[in-house]
Amino acid sequence: MDFNLFMGDISESARNEIREAGFTELKTPDEVKESLEQEGTTLVMVNSTCGCAGGVARPAAASAIHYDKRPDQLVTVFAGQDREATETARQYFEGFAPSSPSFALLKDGKIIDMVERHEIEGHSPVSVVQRLQQLFEEHCEEL
């Protein structure tokens, strides 16, 4: 099997999974800037092809948003695939090292907090859902 074809299938599957959960995919630096500089709260999922993204982060993202309080905007960038968009998004995550998969919660374009890879890898989807919903409870409006 052609490795590039195989990786393309994996990354497309990962993209579809998070889009189907309701996240808007940002593929360019301009899309990232336009989206992250909007007023209100934004959850950014830094997607990846690793096992903890597929086994924990994406399922947690899909579940966590079914909550009374939720970010105004749900977006995603794909680390290792859309490099410039991911690098631009990470410029907004001041004080946090690059990490994927991860989640960043922003308000009015400013970082509030992150759920980094070390809080995802080796953890259950349920614990990540609880962490995200704790952030939503503290910083988001009721829908």
34-59 burial by CB neighbour count: b if 16+ within 10 A, else e? ebbeeeebbbbbbbbbbebbbebbbb
Q: Is 52 an active-site residue?
A: yes
Catalytic pick among 18, 32, 45, 50: 50
Q: Is 140 an active-site residue?
A: no
- Cβ neighbour number for residue 68 with a 10 Å cutoff: 11
Beta carbons within 8 Å of 90's beta carbon, 6+ residues apart: 46, 98
Catalytic pick among 33, 52, 62, 63: 52
* Residue whose structure tokens are 């809080």: 119
d(CA 28, CA 112): 23
Residues designated as active site: 50, 52
